[in-house]
Amino acid sequence: MVLITLLSELQAEVGKRFVFLGPVLECKECRLKGICFNLEKGATYEVVALRGQKHPCDANEGEVHVVEVERVARPAVVEKKFAVEGSNITFQPSKCNELGCPSYKECNPEGLENEMKVAIAQVGDKVKCAVGQSRTRVQIL
């Protein structure tokens, strides 16, 4: 499903992906905030088209571009028991502090907080866990 939103000049490029981290305080009084806030916090989007319009933006200290975006799946690592294609789960980040682990970023994806709801779009391979947890790579929506 295509959604309309506003992005900074650096982000407004077809094919560029971003994680929506939620609204910022500078947007509280903006008359266009509804266009920016129609995205789901923690979800990943890809710019699929640019529209010609631009608007001033206090949060970006310049202009923002009107763009069309689609929600896309992104990689994550979850407990093996939750890795069921088509299921909806309550995400729980790993409980390890192995920052050097090659899977750390996927076990703790940017923008996803504990207890957020996600859908498992695809199940991948088993992940070798540095602390011995049974974890599987998936694509989440």
Structure tokens at 75: 């990689």
CB 27 within 8 A of CB 33: yes
Structural domain boundaries in the chain = 2-72, 74-140
Kindly tell me if the per-residue pLDDT of 53 is higher than 90: yes
Which pLDDT value is given to residue 83? 97
pTM here is 0.88
**Residue 59 confidence class, pLDDT cut points 50, 70, 90:** confident
CB 140 within 8 A of CB 122: no
Which pLDDT value is given to residue 36? 86
pLDDT per residue as tens digits for the range 27-48:
888 999 999 889 999 999 999 9
pLDDT per residue as tens digits for the range 64-114:
999 999 999 999 999 999 999 999 999 988 888 899 999 999 999 999 988
Kindly tell me if the per-residue pLDDT of 24 is higher than 90: no
CB 90 within 8 A of CB 79: no
**What's the rounded Cα separation, in Å, for the pair 137 and 25?**
35
